[in-house]
Structure 1
Amino acid sequence: MSRKYLRFWIACVAGLLMFGLMPGFSHAATDSVQSTVEWSRDYGSNSAGNEVIPTSDGGYIAVGGIFEAGKYQKAYILKLDAEGQVEWEQKPMYPTTNSMAYRVIETKDGGYLVAGNTNSEDVPIVGQLYIIRLDSSGNVLWEKVQDDTIHSTPTAIVETEDGDFFIAGSGSVGWVAYEKAYILKIDIKGETLWYNKYNYTDSVEFNDLIPANNGGYMAVGSVGRAEYESGDLDAMLMVKIDDQGKEVWSKQFKEQASRWSAFSITASEDGGYVIGSGKRVNRNHVNVLTKTDLNGQVQWEKTYRDRTNSEYFKRLVRTKDGYAMLGQHISQNSLDYKNQYDVLSVDGKGELISRELFKGPPINNVGSAAVTPDGGFIFPGTVKRGDVTKFQLMKLSPSVNIPPVERTLTGISFTEKDKKLKAGTNVSTVLQAVYSDGTKSDLSSAADYVSADSAIVEIDALGRITGHEPGSTYVEATYEGFAARLNVTVFPEDTDEFDPVSGYIKLDSYEYSLAEGTMLDLRVILRNYINQNEIDITRQTTFTSDHPDIAEVDEEGNLIGHKRGITKIYAQYKGSIISANVLVVRASVPKEDLQSDSDESAKGAIVELSPFILPD
């Protein structure tokens, strides 16, 4: 069977699985709608949307970029009324450059301050910080470019009590792929008061900045190595600074190879903070809320993931019920791809309330959204209309409270079978509660943990494991009478177990199909970059599955189909990983059973499929 035909066949069967044409599968019940789209509007042509905020007159101001006649991009600034109708717009552009606006605030005098970047044709990899001051009618009062050699992306603006401004962001050093975090302080006329950069390791980012609850300011972001270097240092960063930009204290929440980065911070009701972040756990992107006290001590932490779909948030806001993360939701399978606006709401303790998705035309990108005065939300984005991109705003109504569905706790489980780490490093775990309705929720900061051998590893109250000395053991979690166990292996500090291999690994196929109750033999091959020799490393490879209840791979390299569905498997060898899609179909049906099955039309059409093995 050819690969081309195989992909077509898998797509067809996947469609049957998705749309309920196989016995035992039916359309999923539609989620109860909690918010509705009040209005959605497009602005400009060949335009992009980056941020929107409410204004004191009940309207909004939004910023992005736009291409008009000619080859240069301009910053795009829109003042809108409560219904999204344009009151005025500005398209500033620094002479003979490309410009983009990323952040905006309304100033105390009723005007606006916009921050973006601008770059010239002569040095396209350097986008200098571009600041624009406007009055309430949209007239440009002054423009400023901060001279530097980094490609600047501003991420936050704060007006101080005395009318000055802090602008925080990060700048990539193009020739080495590092990020440098900075904070610029300017006065009301745009004069530079000071310009500080913050160096904790090779690469540092600031993604948000807010006034601190006890004076000064709080910045959050990440520290790590450059993209092309291997290194153990991946950490979410939290920094307290004073009025002069000097560090008061900082905390790094380290986790090896996690790409842990904070995207937003907000003050909590009790005087502490809640930080929104994203990181990799078991090769999957998960979102995290971390509650800290005034001094950055962690009080609780929750993780959120929508099965195999991806969520990338840019803003964390306070709501009447607790908090909401605002960003984009990406789902993809063999037949469908969706990029939607995403509102994930939680209560004051981080317990999930709802996940609401909203789509329109194809969405290229989602900007920094905001909570509106009526308790709803407004999203900026870039959508595709034919061959043209447009700046879109979507206004959502406040959520309607829906009584929670009664459910019973049936068990708890770690999302992984085992953990590996170096001595002297730590990793996170994700513990989930499993309920009678099939739903799962994070329990990481609610359970009790114990290590079977504290000389090898320790585990804290948040489920973070710290490796002390080489060896193998396990940790155990308990919650409301249920228990779950996770095997842990600690390697020496000088191990190469987590370093990328000198070559690349590959599976014997990038997609598999098998019938439920059957097995396929897989092979994982390591090909050396230098001599192109190939080695079978199947027995040395660690396998995982997004949905082990659908299909999983045992230690011998046997792919086992358990029940109908689609999943993805991963093969990891040292620091390298490869994945493949897996389709499990219904086993063949005896012909004498077909007639009786087909009479039960409510169960859907019958499809007879036989197991097969992919050709080499």
Structure 2
Amino acid sequence: MSRRRLWGGRLTGKFMICLLVAVVAAGTAAAEGERHNIFGAAGLGPGIRITDVQLTRNVQYTLGGITSEKHGYIALANKEGDIIWSKDIGISEDDKQIQFTSVQSDVQGAYYLGGSQPGRSQYYADLYFTKLDNSGAVKWKKVVETGGFGYVYSVAPVSDGGMVYTAVSSKNDQSQDAYIGRLNKKGESVWTKVISSSGSDPEGVTAESIYPSEDGSFLVGGSQNGRCSVWKLDSAGKMVWSKNFKGASSGRVTASKDGGGVAAHVSRTGEGRLVKLGRAGGEEWSQPFKAKAILSLELSQDGGYLLGTPEGIVKFNHHGEVQGTSNIRKVTGLYKTAGTTMVAVRSLNRLEKLSLGSFTSLKSDRNLSKLQPKVADKLQFDSEEYSISSGDTFDTVVLSSRSGSGRRVPVTKLSKFQSDNPKVLTIDNEGNITGVKRGKTVIRASYEGQSVTAEVSVY
């Protein structure tokens, strides 16, 4: 069988990370004798967008992506980067073309696709999902109705052979709800979680990404009330906690090994923050950075974090401190492979192999200030808004930034607390809030002469 070269040659970039997949309208095999060098070249082909790259257990690479025709694209490459086979996945149901928007794969070599199936009019579309085996054959397909125009943002495989997904549904009343769901290994629905928009939220709710955690829970990134949002769902799809970031126009989130997560968000003025969220959703630390936008976020093999921006890749250590940068620009995806080797996806469909130890250290304060600006001392809760059910209790975290570094540290145990309406919600001396009855109130914390407030909604 003929093969194409997926990558080749040595990269001179400063540090290495994950990989990503793109889609291209391709045949089942490349032309005889053709060599396609992805690293530093034109990419997989015109109209392809990589959405996933996975190192399989037999040391091969699966690729997934979307073509310009909204077909799925899947491929298998050997460890040297030669394409073994590739397929264009175009599926029609009732003479209507499925519009695929997300493709992922697992370590077994199976592929998971999500998209939209046109409905009875231009205002309706159902969610469509299918799983393919390691040869590209269809194992099952599933249609999920939302009563509106459905759009799948992401799919992700889970350990039982099924998948989870995030999507939105736009309704005739101009509202937009977020859909998060799980399908089992047979394609049957296990649970569906809907986050509905309110009348005061003209932009609606969006769930864009989902990451399975090692404890069986799921971390979801999206937006609500015009703010970047993070939700944690348990294995049954029940909301565990939610968090909003005010002033953030875009962001990324990924799950961490401790059951929490890491979020990166940036404002329209380029002021960003990398935030470590604990298992209960509390903010453990936060570090400022500067970037025009956030294109990707991934955990690195050494316990740190890799942030893809239009300007390049930034490496943070496990405390959120900047360690170095790369000159690899427009990174839209980062994927871990083996050891300290990773693959970065640039400009949607160019793959570059990287090594974690190959990055430029920031030795001067001048270079560091370009990425981590000085920030005035400030006291704040880990969230400006909280939501809680009546009868439930969870902790809040009070953070203080000191010495102008912008780094925030917890001072909860040293703070004093108060609830404006204890009949709706109470807060104890350790910052734990308990919902009493439906309503809204404000909680207050004070520390070393500073004070901060947050709004709480009880459902």
Shorter-chain TM-score bucket reads 0.5 to 0.7
Conserved in 2, the CA contact under 8 Å of 1:222 and 1:260? no
Secondary structure of 1:331's match? coil
Residues 432, 381 of structure 1: alpha-carbon distance in 2 compared, 3 angstrom cutoff? closer
Residue 151 of structure 2 is matched in structure 1 by 205
Given the alignment of the two structures, is residue 475 of structure 1 paired with residue 414 of structure 2, yes or no? no
Q: How does 1:364-513 map to 2 (within 5 A)?
A: 366-380=294-308, 382=310, 393-400=312-319, 475-478=440-443
> In the alignment, is residue 142 of structure 1 matched against residue 86 of structure 2?
yes
Alignment of 1:178-577 (within 5 A): 180-212=126-158, 215=160, 217-226=162-171, 229-232=172-175, 234-257=176-199, 258=201, 259-268=204-213, 270-280=215-225, 285-305=226-246, 308-313=247-252, 315-318=253-256, 322-326=260-264, 329-332=266-269, 338=270, 343-352=274-283, 353-359=285-291, 366-380=294-308, 382=310, 393-400=312-319, 475-478=440-443
The aligned counterpart of 2:19 is 61
Alpha-carbon distance, 1:302 to partner: 2.3
Alpha-carbon distance between aligned partners in 2 of 1:146 and 1:132, rounded to the nearest angstrom: 14
Deviation at 1:372?
A: 1.6
Deviation of 1:176 after TM superposition, in Å, equals: 3.0
Q: Distance in 2 between matches of 1:487 and 1:272?
A: 24
Q: What do residues 231-254 of structure 1 show as CA deviations (whole Å, max 9, x unaligned)?
A: 45x433221211121112212122
Q: CA deviation at 1:263?
A: 2.5
Aligned to 2:66: 117
What is the alpha-carbon distance in structure 2 between the residues aligned to residue 92 and residue 291 of structure 1?
Answer: 35
What's the TM-score once normalised by structure 2's chain length?
0.58
Residue 463 to residue 447, structure 1, CA distance change in 2 (3 Å): farther
Shift of 1:396: 1.0
Deviations 1:540-584 (A, max 9, x none): xxxxxxxxxxxxxxxxxxxxxxxxxxxxxxxxxxxxxxxxxxxxx
One-letter amino acid matched to 2:71? Q
Amino acid at match of 1:299: V
Identical columns (%): 15
Letter in structure 2 aligned against 1:189: S
Asked whether the equivalents of residues 308 and 314 of structure 2 are also in contact (C-alpha less than 8 Å), the reply is: no
Partner of 1:159: 106
Q: Which amino acid aligns with 2:317?
A: P
Answer whether contact 1:160 1:166 (CA < 8 A) is retained. Answer: no
Query: Residue type of the partner of 2:250?
Result: E
Residue type matched to 1:369 in 2? L
Task: Decide which of 121, 129, 132 is 2:75's aligned counterpart.
Answer: 132
Whole-angstrom distance in 1 between the partners of 2:221 and 2:401: 29
1:103 aligns with 2:40: no
In structure 2, the CA distance between the partners of 1:78 and 1:271, relative to structure 1 (3 Å rule), is farther
Pairs aligned (count): 347
C-alpha separation between the residues in 1 aligned to 2:383 and 2:297? Answer: 34
* 2:368 counterpart residue number: none
Give the 3-state SS of the residue equivalent to 2:19 in structure 1.
Answer: strand
Runs of 5+ consecutive residues of structure 1 not aligned to the other structure: 1-38, 43-51, 55-59, 67-76, 80-85, 120-125, 333-337, 384-392, 417-430, 454-460, 467-473, 489-616
Confirm or deny: 8 A CA contact 2:124 2:147 kept in the other structure. no
Counterpart of 2:371?
none
Structure 1 residue 278: Cα displacement: 1.5
- Structure 2 residues not aligned, in runs of 5+: 1-10, 25-35, 322-374, 387-395, 425-432
Name the aligned partner's letter for residue 143 of structure 2.
K
Once the two structures are TM-superposed, the CA of residue 184 in structure 1 deviates from its matched residue by: 2.1
Structure 1 or 2, whichever has the larger Rg, is: 1
SS at match of 2:302: coil
Residue identity opposite 2:162 in structure 1: Y
1:187 Cα deviation after fit: 1.8
Post-superposition offset of 1:201: 2.2
CA distance in 1, matches of 2:132, 2:91: 14
Q: Partner letter of residue 104 of structure 1?
A: V
Q: Which has the higher contact order (CA 8 A, sep 6+)?
A: 2
CA distance in 2, matches of 1:62, 1:90: 15
Pairwise CA distance, 1:373: 0.8
Render the CA deviation track for 1:389-434: whole Å, top value 9, x for unaligned: xxxx5151424478xx9x9979999779xxxxxxxxxxxxxx9979
Letter aligned with residue 19 of structure 2:
I
Q: How far did residue 186 of structure 1 move?
A: 1.3
In 2 relative to 1, CA 255–139 (structure 1 residues): closer, same or farther, beyond 3 Å?
Answer: same
1:304, distance to aligned residue in structure 2 (A): 2.0
**1:95-151: per-residue Cα shift (whole Å, max 9, x none)?**
xx73332322222222222222223xxxxxx42222222222222223223234557
Cα deviation digits, residues 446-469 of structure 1 (max 9, x gap)? 99796979xxxxxxx898997xxx
CA contact (8 A) 2:384 2:454 kept: yes
1:77-88 matches, within 5 Å, as 86=39
* Separation of aligned partners in 1, 2:454 and 2:299: 41
| Alignment check: 8 A CA contact 1:65 1:100 kept | yes
Q: Is the 8 A contact 1:413 1:484 kept in 2?
A: no
For residue 104 of structure 2, what is the amino acid of its counterpart?
A: I
Indicate conservation of the 8 Å contact 1:209/1:220, yes or no. yes
Matches of 1:464 and 1:98, distance apart in 2: 54
1:337-375 Cα shifts (integer Å, max 9, x gaps): x4x77633223332231144244xxx5x64333222122
Letter in 2 for 1:291: K
**What is the distance in 1 between the residues matched to 2:188 and 2:240?**
26
Equivalent AA in structure 1 for residue 112 of structure 2: F
Q: What is the alpha-carbon distance in structure 2 between the residues aligned to residue 414 and residue 142 of structure 1? A: 48
**Partner Cα separation in structure 2 for residue 464 and residue 167 of structure 1:** 43
Distance, in Å, in 2 between the alignment partners of 1:356 and 1:202 is 39
